[in-house]
Every structure is written in C-alpha cells, then in structure tokens.
Amino acid sequence: MTRTHWCAVMAVCSTVWWGMFSMSHHVSAFGGDAAKGKVIYQAKCVTCHGPEGKGDGPIGKALKPPAGDFSSAESKKKSSDEWQNLIANGKPKTAMMAWIKQLNEAEIQDVLAYVLALRK
C-alpha cells in the first residue's frame, strides 16, 4: 500500500469513527448536549410540544396559538440563535414562557441541542 493510499484509508476511517461518535453523543455548535437536553425537555416541554416536538402534547393543541411544531417548514427556517432566544426569552402573546430564570445557560444550550435534533 502506498503512502497516499494509506493516508486515504486513515482519513475515511477517521471520518466514519467521528460520524459514529457524533451520532451517539450529539453536541451542537453552541456546545449543548442533546442527551442532557432530552431529559430537561421531557420534564419541562413535552406537555405542550409532545414527545417528538410536533406540538401535540396533552395541552399543546388546545393552546391559542397552538404549541410550536419543531418539524414544520417554518420551524426549520429558524436559526440556532433564534431558537436559543426563543427558549431563553419565550414568545410574547403565546404560552411559550421564558426559561432564562428556571434554566441556567448550559441547560438552555442542552435543550437547544435536543430541539435542533428533533427538527431533522
């Protein structure tokens, strides 16, 4: 095997290994941990947004306006910064409350990472 082939094989193996690692432990560009975010989401968000973030939680559809659906085209257009702001500061004239006083910055980043994972 030539040095060029060996380098190519190592690059492919590294890419595959990194891909497997990142799927099992999703960390967003903001540094949040989706696994930790899932725990917080299930405790604080699932009642409105539902288990898969479709806005179909036990009270989500009854809200006026209804809880957000993270898989919708509109939701997918939002940037990570917009999502972070929405989680931290809430959304006026909706039931989406500000979490900045209940969650610390790391927890907000974790929830953000999980919400971004649900959008896919």
The predicted structure's pLDDT at residue 2: 57
**pLDDT tens per residue, range 63-89:** 999 999 999 999 999 999 999 999 999
What does pLDDT average to over the chain?
82
* E-only strand ranges, 17-114: none
What gap in Å lies between CA 94 and CA 83, rounded to an integer?
15
The predicted structure's pLDDT at residue 80: 92
pLDDT for 13 beyond 90: no
CATH H superfamily, domain 3-118: Cytochrome c-like domain (1.10.760.10)
What gap in Å lies between CA 41 and CA 1, rounded to an integer?
50
Torsion (CA) 40, 41, 43, 48 in degrees, nearest 10: 160
Q: Are 16 and 92 in contact (CB under 8 A)?
A: no
**pLDDT tens per residue, range 46-57:** 999 999 999 999
Q: Domain map of the chain by residue range?
A: 3-118
pTM beyond 0.85, yes or no:
no
Torsion (CA) 89, 31, 37, 72 in degrees, nearest 10: 70
